[in-house]
Amino acid sequence: MLVLTRKRGQAIKIGDDVVITVTEIRGKGSKSIVKLGITAPPGTKVLREEVEREVAQEMDLAKDPAFDISLLGDKVKEQ
Amino acid sequence: MLVQTKRFGQVEIDSSRVITFPNGLIGFPEFKEYVVLDFAGGNSVLRWLQSVQEPSLGFVTLSLYDVFPDYDPEFCPSDLADLGGASPDDLVLLSVVTVPPDIRKMTTNLQAPLVLNPATRLGKQVIVMSPEYTTRHYVFSTLESLMKRTG
């Protein structure tokens, strides 16, 4: 992994079109927070990394539900 | 073809109804083929998404256009291109429902809908870019009032 040191206001460029700027740094130790500004072409997917993990956890809760939900009828229609 | 399901036993479906998710679902990348089954209880907004390969892998889903007509998230264009380039109006959107033991607390995942292209039979679970949609949106009362209205 490439590790770069940046100060507030400094940026990193990825490829030709993506710029990530450190806009704010505050707090100390485990409570420290950094705010990043991201410029990227329209349509570029930018996600907090944990979102996909949260969705995967939710999918795991949703799979094979053990519900007894009479309003559904616990059968599928003849297809 | 016959599809084995843990919940409903063996179900005969036309093989043209299989939908391929080239990336699988989020958290389940290894299972790529699914069928959407209707429940017999006459509830048309809920569907059962069944893995063709794994009988125990199935999900309750709801039709987003029917339950949340105002649902209009921002999709990443590359995600839609992966489905074979349909216009958004031609896509079918399903949202996975989590049913806890207390069904009044059931939630649906508006942040990561399943986007299906009926023309290509391709599907993708997409994380939308609109921050107002969450993975755990309470949906029981919405479904309840919808069912009262439609009988």
Contact B142, B133 (CB under 8 A): no
> What's the ipTM?
0.90
**Cα gap B51→A19, rounded to integer Å:** 41
Mean pLDDT of A44-53: 88
Chain-chain contact of B40 with A61 (C-beta, under 8 angstroms) = no
Q: Strand locations in A1-79, DSSP E?
A: 11-14, 18-26, 33-39
For residue range B93-104, list pLDDT tens digits in order: 999 999 988 888
So where are chain A's domains? 1-45, 47-79
Task: Report the distance separating Cα B17 and Cα A6, nearest Å.
Answer: 53
* Cα–Cα distance, A41 to B9 (Å, whole number): 48
Q: How does pLDDT run across B123-141, given as a tens digit for each residue?
A: 999 999 888 999 999 998 8
Residues 6+ apart with CB under 8 A from A51: B111, B127
pLDDT of residue A74 exceeding 70, the answer is no
Residue A26: how many CB atoms within 10 A of its CB? 10
Question: Is B109 in Cβ contact with A79 (below 8 Å)?
Answer: no
* Of A64, A48, A56, the residue nearest B112 (C-alpha): A56
pLDDT value of position A2 = 94
- Given A55, A66, A72, which is nearest B26 (Cβ)? A55
Distance CA B11, CA B20 (A): 18
Task: Please tell me if residue A59 touches chain B, with a CB cutoff of 8 Å.
Answer: yes
Query: Where is A64: in which H helix or E strand?
Result: none
Q: Check CB contact under 8 Å for A76 and B97.
A: no
- What is residue A31's DSSP assignment? G
Q: Give the distance from residue A24's alpha carbon to the nearest chain B alpha carbon, in angstroms.
A: 21
Angle at CA B38, nearest 5°, toward B2 and B19? 60
Question: CB contact, 8 Å: A33 with chain B?
Answer: no
Q: Does the pTM exceed 0.80?
A: yes
Q: Which residue's structure tokens are 């063709």?
A: B52
With CA atoms as reference, report the closest residue to B116 among B68, B70, B61, B69.
Answer: B61
Q: Which residues of chain B neighbour A71 with C-beta distances below 8 Å?
A: 41, 43, 147
Q: How confident is the model at residue B88 (pLDDT cuts 50, 70, 90)?
A: confident
As a whole number of angstroms, the distance between CA B19 and CA B147 comes to: 28
Using alpha carbons only, give the angle B56, B91, B86 rounded to the nearest 5 degrees: 125
Residue B138 distance to chain A (closest CA, Å): 13
SS3 B38: strand
Taking an 8 Å cut-off on Cβ atoms, the answer to whether A59 and B46 are in contact is: no
